[in-house]
Amino acid sequence: MERKVYTLPALAYPYNALTPHISEGQLKIHHTKHHQAYVDNVNNINKKFDDATKSGADVDIKALLKELAFNLGGHSLHSYFWEDMAPPSKGGGKPGGKLADQVNRDFGGLDRFKKLFSQTATSVEGSGWASLIYCGELDRLMLQQIEKHNVNYAPDFTAVMVLDVWEHAYYIDYKNLRAKFVEAFWNVVNWDGIGKWFEEIKGWY
């Protein structure tokens, strides 16, 4: 039986929609090359397990599981990331509704949240992510700094929004200047979409 595989999720906007903050070339290579590679890698790893199951062969389980965690993280974080951005005509500004209330309560206001989230992103050691997570038990937003796609990652907390600060996310537009890219992100942040997603997450509790 053919098993299901992951596919690259389509973006909700064209590749040139985030200019001038993220160029068409930068977004296209990020989506079609980098994200696609994580999708392909997970599918290949699952196929290796399936092939070995069929033949009864051993697998190098430690190496495969290390690769699987890395690539699964890459796939899921990128899938969130595309939805966290919108064309500058619709993005930027500030959140409304429950998300605005929660940000005010947990971070003392949007400006302070943006400062802390930006600091989380710019200070990632090497390649990684800034992530805002929600804990239903505490009814609290928390920050998470993920190295690579899966290091320093606390499982079971749903990401409300993420920002990719791998150099592959910005090198064409900003060279090595990560802080410039993080600053630009706030012009395309999709508060409407993130706010709706946050209300859905809150509804689980």
Residues that bind Mn ion (CB under 5 A): 34, 164, 166, 169
Nearer to Mn ion, 166 or 197 (CB): 166
Non-local (6+) Cβ contacts of 65 within 8 A are: none
Nearest approach in angstroms of CB 168 to Mn ion is 5
- The answer to whether the CB of 147 falls within 8 A of the CB of 125 is yes
Phi and psi at residue 149, to the nearest 5°: -115, 0
Nearer to Mn ion, 99 or 162 (CB): 162
Nearer to Mn ion, 8 or 59 (CB): 8
Non-local (6+) Cβ contacts of 138 within 8 A are: none
Nearest approach in angstroms of CB 52 to Mn ion is 30
Nearer to Mn ion, 80 or 198 (CB): 80
If you search the block for the tokens 């699987």, which residue do you land on?
Answer: 68
Nearest approach in angstroms of CB 133 to Mn ion is 19
Nearest approach in angstroms of CB 95 to Mn ion is 23
Nearest approach in angstroms of CB 189 to Mn ion is 16
**Beta strand pairing call for 140-147 and 158-164:** unpaired
In whole angstroms, give the CA distance from residue 121 to residue 91.
19
Nearer to Mn ion, 34 or 148 (CB): 34
In whole angstroms, give the CA distance from residue 60 to residue 162.
32
In whole angstroms, give the CA distance from residue 54 to residue 71.
23
Nearest approach in angstroms of CB 79 to Mn ion is 11
Nearer to Mn ion, 181 or 191 (CB): 181
What does 152-182 look like in DSSP terms, one character per residue?
A: TPPTT-EEEEEEE-SGGGTHHHHTT-HHHHH
Q: Can you read off the two tokens belonging to residue 85?
A: 């951005």
